[in-house]
A and B are shown apart, each in its own frame.
Chain A
Amino acid sequence: GDSVTQTEGQVALSEEDFLTIHCNYSASGYPALFWYVQYPGEGPQFLFRASRDKEKGSSRGFEATYDKGTTSFHLRKASVQESDSAVYYCALGEPNTGKLTFGDGTVLTVKP
């Protein structure tokens, strides 16, 4: 079945550091790819999506580019802030049923 792998389980940075969270996927079809962010006690919040190869998604300074060749959708941000501390999930969307398959999540902690 489809799967998503996030390499980093936890990332600790200082403010203004550069962020990369690696996401690789495996899918039989041609899925849409998503990044979600989750804060304590809340549901996942949509960050952005990319629907086709080479498309870049972005929001709030975060960005990722759909790479069908390397089956990747790595999340990057040039300068993180303490308020970015949260859990980040990469996900792929199944075209027919709308099912989202999530990675295990990456806990980002940003120190002031």
Chain B
Amino acid sequence: DPKIIQKPKYLVAVTGSEKILICEQYLGHNAMYWYRQSAKKPLEFMFSYSYQKLMDNQTASSRFQPQSSKKNHLDLQITALKPDDSATYFCASSQEPGHRNSDYTFGSGTRLLVI
């Protein structure tokens, strides 16, 4: 059974539109993350959350907004979509943020294409 569920698996969006990427983890972890993977930057950190609080934000644009309604949920809202946003977005989680012995588990990703 998948321990991190990302929905949808594939997403095609029109330039200027808004989309929400869903992530749920069933590992009992307290920290969740978003990463982006594209041809330009293989695996790029975006956000980290711990106990539903933002720990780190490395995303330059405010168009990307994480949303955490429950401890095991961390959705990603993207507004005013641009073709450059086309990438695979991975959700990940770990027991605690930054703990030296934490393992990070990744979901299978949402592949976003903006046309």
Where the two chains meet, the residues of A that have a C-beta atom closer than 8 Å to any C-beta of B are 32, 34, 36, 41-46, 49, 51-52, 89, 91, 93-105
Chain B 96-115 interface 0/1 with A at a Cβ cutoff of 8 Å (1 = within): 11111111111111000000
Q: Which residues of B contact A (CB under 8 A)?
A: 4, 31, 33, 35, 42-45, 48, 50, 55-56, 58, 90, 92, 94, 96-109
Instruction: Tell me the interface secondary structure of chain A in the complex.
Output: loop
9 A-B pairs with CB atoms under 8 Å apart are: A32-B100, A34-B104, A44-B43, A49-B101, A49-B103, A89-B43, A95-B98, A98-B31, A99-B98
**Nearest residue in A to B33 (C-beta to C-beta)?**
A98
Given A46-B103, A46-B105, decide whether A102 and B98 contact each other with a Cβ distance below 8 A: no
Residue in A42, A43, A98 with the greatest tally of chain B CB atoms within 10 Å? A98
Residues of A with C-beta under 8 A to B42: 89, 102-105
Residue ID in chain A nearest B111 by CB atoms = A41
CB-based contact B90/A43 at 8 Å? yes
Chain B residues near A91: list those with CB within 8 A: 43
Closest A residue to B103 by beta carbon equals A46
